[in-house]
Structure 1
Amino acid sequence: MSRRSTLGSVLATVAASALLLAGCVPGSQPSPTSTPTGESVSPELEPFYSQVLEWESCGDGMQCATATAPLDWDDPPAGEAELALVRHAATGDRIGSLLVNPGGPGGSGYDFVANSLDFAVGAPLQERFDVVGFDPRGVGRSSAVACYDPAQMDEYLYSLPESPRGSDAWMQEVREARAAFGAACESKTGELLANVDTVSAARDLDLLRAVLGDEKLNYLGFSYGTLLGATFAGLYPEHVGRLVLDGALDPSSSESDVTSAQAVGFERALRAYLENCLTGEECPFSGTADDALAEIAELLASVEASPLRGTDGRQVGADTLITAIIYPLYSQQSWPALDQLFTSVQFGDADLALQLADGYNGRNPDGSYLDNSTEAFSAINCLDYEYQSDVAVMREKAAGIAEAAPIIGPYFGYGDLGCLDWPVPSEAERAPIHAEGAAPILVVGTTGDPATPYEWSVALAEQLDSGVLVTYDGEGHTAYNKSNQCVSDAVERYLIDGVVPEGETNC
C-alpha cells in the first residue's frame, strides 16, 4: 500500500516542524470515574481516559501536547506509549475536534497539520473545528519504531541483489536483508514493536477522542488513514461521529490482493500519463501509449541488467527506478517530473531518479532521513497482514501480479519476503468491517487513484452498514481539498452540517 499519501512538490524536502511539548497523566484511581466526556471506564483504563492534556504554544498558531496510551491494550498496566498531538484551534463557531491522518502507514499526522494545514483541510473546516494532527503509535514524535541509522537505511533501500530476480538465491538475499532489518527494529524498539498494529492505533483514536472532550469522533483519514478510521468504526460504532475516509483500503484484502491491485493501479496511471504526454511537444516518447509502455519496460530491464550510477555513488536499478516512476503518479500535477525523469534515464543520468526515489523514501539531500516512515511502514504492515513461506505460492502470486500489470508488476512480487522473518509474528485476520450501528460514514474514491484503486472505496462503502460513497472521476491519489470543488463541498457539508449525500454522489 502507499507509503506516501500526499505529494506537494516531488523535488522539495519538507522542513522539520516545531518541537513537541509534553502533557501529563494523573495517577490511577481505585474505581471507575468519569472521563472528560462523562463516560465510565474500567479502573485499569481510567488513568488514560481521565488524563488532562497540557497544551502549549509551538509556533505558527499551533498548540502541542502529548497523550499517553497503554503500550498493550490487552494489558493496560504493563506500560505506556506516548502520542504526539498538534492542534490548530477553530477560528470561528467551534463544533469540536477533527482528527486527521494522512496515511502511510507511517505518515506523520503531526507534520501534516503543523506544516501544511491548508493542504490538509480547507478553510471551512479550519473555522469550525479544532484540527488535530497526531502521530500514531510507532510513528514520528510518538513512541516510535527505530531500526537503522542513515547509512544502514541507504544500504537497505538502495543496494542491489547479486542474483537474478525470482531465483532461489535472490529470494535468500532479500530474505536475509529483511531479517536483519527486523532484528535491528526489535533491538532498538523493544516491546513497542509488538504493539504498533492498526487495531491498537484505532483504540488510541478512541482514547484521543475522549481526552479531547468529544463524545463522538470526527475524523478525516486519507489512504491508510481510511483503514485506521474504519477499524475504529468497527471497534466503537457507538462513538462514530462524522468520519470521512478518502482513498480507501479494502479491509478484507490480503497482502497479495493489495499488491496486485496497486500494480494495476500504477500501470493504469502510467498509461494515463503517457496518453497525456504524447499530445504535447516535450514528451520523451513517440508513437502510441503501448509503444511508450514497451519502451519503459525495456528501460526497466536495461537498468535491472546494468544499473546506472549517480554522482553520489549510489546505483539505480529497476526497483529504485520503479520508485522514482510511481512517486509522481500520485498527483497529476506532478506528471511533468516524469518527462524529465524518462529523458534523463534515457541519456544514462541517474540523479533525478535518485532524487525522486529519495522523495518517496523521505531521504534528505544530505543523506539523513526526514522521519521513521520506512521503519513504521514495515512494522505496522508486518502486524496487519498474514504472510507465508511457500516458495511455489510466492512464485505463483508473483506471476499473477506480472500478468495483471506487465510493465510494473514484475517488480512488485514476493511481498511475503518482507515480513516472513519479522520478529513479531502477525496474528491479523483480514475481514470486512461492517460497523453495525454506526452513524453514516463518508467514503471518497477516485476513479484513477493508483495507490488505493477505486474498487477499494466501492468495497469499503458496501461493507460498512452506513457507508456512503462519493466518487471523483479523475486522476491522482485521494480527492478532498484538491482541484475538485464538488468533492470538497460534499465533504465539508457532511463534516460541518451533517448533510449526508443522498445515494451515490459523482463528481
Structure 2
Amino acid sequence: MLKVPLDYANPAGTVIELGVLRVVATGSDPIGSLVVNPGGPGGAGTEFAVQVAQAWGNNSARERFDLIGLDPRGVGESRPTIDCYTDKQRDDDPIVSGIPAGALTWTAETARTMLQQCAAGSGGAEALAHFGTKDAARDLDVLRAALGDDKLSFLGVSYGTRLGAIYAEMFPGRVRALVLDGAEDPRKDLKQRQLQLFGGLQRSFEQLAKFCAHEPECPLGDNPAQATPALQKLLRPLVKTPMRASDGRTVTFYTAIQGVIVGLYAQEAWPAVIASLAAFKKGNVDMLLALRDAYNTRSAAGAYTNAAEATLAINCLDERQLTVDEATNLVNETNEVAPFLDPGIDVKTHYGCEGWSTASTLDFPYATNIDGLPETLVVSVTGDGLTPHEGGIALADTLGARLLTVDGEQHGATIAGNPCIDDIVANYLVNLKLPDLATRCAL
C-alpha cells in the first residue's frame, strides 16, 4: 500500500492508503516502472497491470519495464473506498449504473441521498472532497518518487488520458513518456463532452446495426437506417412495464440499454448483443441482464465493485455544477444526438452531483498550454464510441503529441493484441521513438 495525504494542503493530517501491484519486468535490464491506469474513472490499476502484462506477452516493453498498477484514491484496494450504494440498491436502481449521468434523470431527493450515502460510506465528507483527479495526479507523483524513478512513464486509457494529461500539466518536467489511449477531449466542458460521447455511442450503435442487418433474423431488421426505431419499439415498453428475469430481478428500460451499450465497446461484442436482443424479442431478458451485469462489474454472487460509484463521485468533483434547466436540457440534447437511448418520455431532472462542492476541482479546458513537456503519444481509434476520434485529435493537438490513428470499431487499442500498435507503443516507451506522422494501424 502507498500512503499519501488525504489533503495535500495539510500533509501532516489524515493519511490514506492506495493499492499498488507490481508485475516485474521479464528482462534482466529494466529501464524502470510503467504506471498504468485503465480509466473509468473508477477502474482499478492493480487489475489493469495484470491485463497489460497478459496482452503484451514478452515484447520489449514488458522486458524493460515493471508494470505498476495503482488503484486511485477511493478505488479498488485503496482505503477509504468510495461506497455509495448497497448491492441491493445497485440491483434495483439503474440510475447508479455506469451510464453517464446525462442519460438519466435525478430528483433533488435522489441526488441528496447519493451525496449523503457517499459521504457516509467513503470516510466522511472530508474524504469525499478529495477524490478528484488533481489529487490523484499528486498521488502519481508520490508513487513515482517511491518507485525510485526520476521521471514518470505512464499508460492511461479512457479517463486515464485525463489523469495523464493533468499530471503532465502539473509536473511537466517529471514526465519521461506518456501513452494516452482512447482520449477524452481536454477542450470540452461537461455538456460538450457528454454530447460528443453520446454522439459516438449512436454512431457505434449504427455500425452494430449494419453488421446485424447481414445476420439471419436480425432483431433490428434488415434496414440499418431503421435500427434506432426498431430498438425503441423493442425496449420502450419496459418504461411502463418492466420485465422479470429468471432470478427475480426487474429489468427496466435503462437496465436493458446497459446491456446494449456494453456491446459498443468493441466489435467483438456485437454478436452477443444481437443474440441478447433476439432472445429479448422472444420474451427472455436474461441475456441482456447478463451483459448489463458485465458492464456493471457484478459478480455471479451479486456483488459489485465500486467502479460505477467512483465514476460518479470523481466526476462530481471534477465537473462544474449544472442548474435544473441545464441538466434537463442536457438530457433532451442527449436524446437528440443518441436517439437509441431515448425512452420516449418527457423529463425534468436535477443534476446528479447537486449539493457537492460548488466549484469544479478541475479547470476545463485543461492541459492546453504546457511548457517543458517531452514528446508524448496519443492513440485513437476511428470508431471509438466512448471517446470519439475527434477527442484524440484534440488531445494530441493540445499536448503537441504524436497521434497514432487506428482504424477500427473499439474503445481503446493498446491492449488489443495488435502487432502494429504494440510495436509502436513499445518502441516509444523503450526508445522514446515516435512513429512517423503518416503511420496508421488497423484492428
Q: CA deviation at 1:425?
A: 5.8
Gaps in structure 1 of 5+ consecutive residues:
1-65
In structure 2, the partner of 1:128 is: 64
Distance 2:190 2:57 in 1: 30
Any conservation in 1 of the 2:82–2:306 contact (CA below 8 Å)? yes
1:282 Cα shift?
5.6
Instruction: State whether structure 2 residue 44 is matched by structure 1 residue 111.
Output: no
1:448 match: secondary structure: coil
Give the 3 Å change call, closer, same or farther, for CA 246–326 of structure 1 in structure 2: same
Secondary structure of the structure 2 residue equivalent to 1:417: coil
Superposed CA offset, 1:349-378 (max 9, x none) = 221121111111111122222x21122111
Which residues in structure 2 correspond to 1:357-396 (within 5 Å)? Answer: 357-369=292-304, 371-391=305-325, 393-396=326-329
Partner Cα separation in structure 1 for residue 50 and residue 419 of structure 2: 24
Instruction: Choose the corresponding residue for 1:183, options 103, 116, 119.
Output: 116
1:404 to 337, 340, 359: 337
Match of 1:277 among 212, 227, 230: 212
Cα distance, 1:440 vs structure 2:
0.5
1:139–1:145 contact (8 Å) kept in structure 2: yes
TM-score when normalising by structure 1:
0.80
Between stretches 196-205 and 284-293, larger displacement belongs to 284-293
Given candidates 82, 85, 91, the residue that maps to 1:154 is: 91
After the TM superposition, which of the residue ranges 100-109 and 302-311 deviates more from structure 2? 302-311
Per-residue CA deviations over 1:161-187 (Å, capped at 9, x if unaligned) read xxxx99xxx95x643223212201111
> 1:240–1:97: structure 2 CA closer, same or farther, 3 Å change rule?
same
State the match for 1:194 in structure 2.
Answer: 129
| 2:381 matched residue in structure 1 | 446
Q: Find the partner of 1:94 among 30, 44, 59.
A: 30
Could you tell me how far apart the structure 2 residues matched to 1:230 and 1:121 are? 27
Work out whether residues 315 and 350 of structure 1, in 8 Å CA contact, stay in contact via their aligned partners in 2: no
User: What is the alpha-carbon distance in structure 2 between the residues aligned to residue 411 and residue 265 of structure 1?
Assistant: 20
2:77 corresponds to: 141
User: Does the Cα contact within 8 Å between 2:324 and 2:351 map onto a contact in 1?
Assistant: no
**Shift of the alpha carbon at 1:504?**
4.6
Indicate the percent of aligned positions where both proteins have the same amino acid: 38
Whether the aligned pair in 2 keeps the contact of 1:227 and 1:248 (CA below 8 Å) is: yes
- Deviation sequence 1:81-124 (CA, Å, 0-9, x none): 21111111111121110000011000001112246631377633
**Structure 2 stretches lacking a partner, 5+ long:** none
Q: Determine the C-alpha separation between the residues in 1 that align with 2:279 and 2:222.
A: 19
Which is greater in Rg? 1
Distance 1:483 1:85, change over 3 A: closer
Pairing of 1:17-96 with structure 2 (within 5 A): 66-92=1-27, 93-96=29-32
CA distance in 2, matches of 1:494, 1:336: 35
Deviations 1:456-482, CA, capped at 9 Å, x for gaps? 111111111x31111001111001131
Moved more, 381-390 or 193-202: 381-390
Spell out the pairing of 1:85-484 with structure 2 (5 A cutoff). Answer: 85-92=20-27, 93-114=29-50, 117-119=53-55, 123-143=59-79, 144-157=81-94, 174-189=107-122, 190=124, 191-281=126-216, 283-369=218-304, 371-391=305-325, 393-408=326-341, 417-422=351-356, 426-433=360-367, 434-464=369-399, 466-484=400-418
How many residues align? The count is 431
Q: Distance in 1 between matches of 2:57 and 2:201?
A: 26
Q: Once superposed, what is the RMSD of the aligned Cα atoms? A: 2.5
Tell me how far apart the structure 2 counterparts of residues 300 and 436 of structure 1 sit (CA, whole Å): 50
Whichever residue aligns with residue 480 of structure 1, its letter is T
User: Which structure would you say has the larger RCO, counting Cα contacts within 8 Å and 6 or more residues apart?
Assistant: 2
Alignment pair present for 1:502 and 2:439: no
SS of structure 2 residue aligned to 1:244: strand
Cα distance change of structure 1 residues 329 and 106 upon mapping to structure 2, 3 Å threshold? same
In structure 2, distance between residues paired with 1:126 and 1:411:
49
**C-alpha contact 1:251 1:431 (8 A) present in aligned 2:** yes
Aligned to 1:42: none
TM score, norm. by length of structure 2: 0.91
**Offset at residue 301 of structure 1 (A):** 1.8
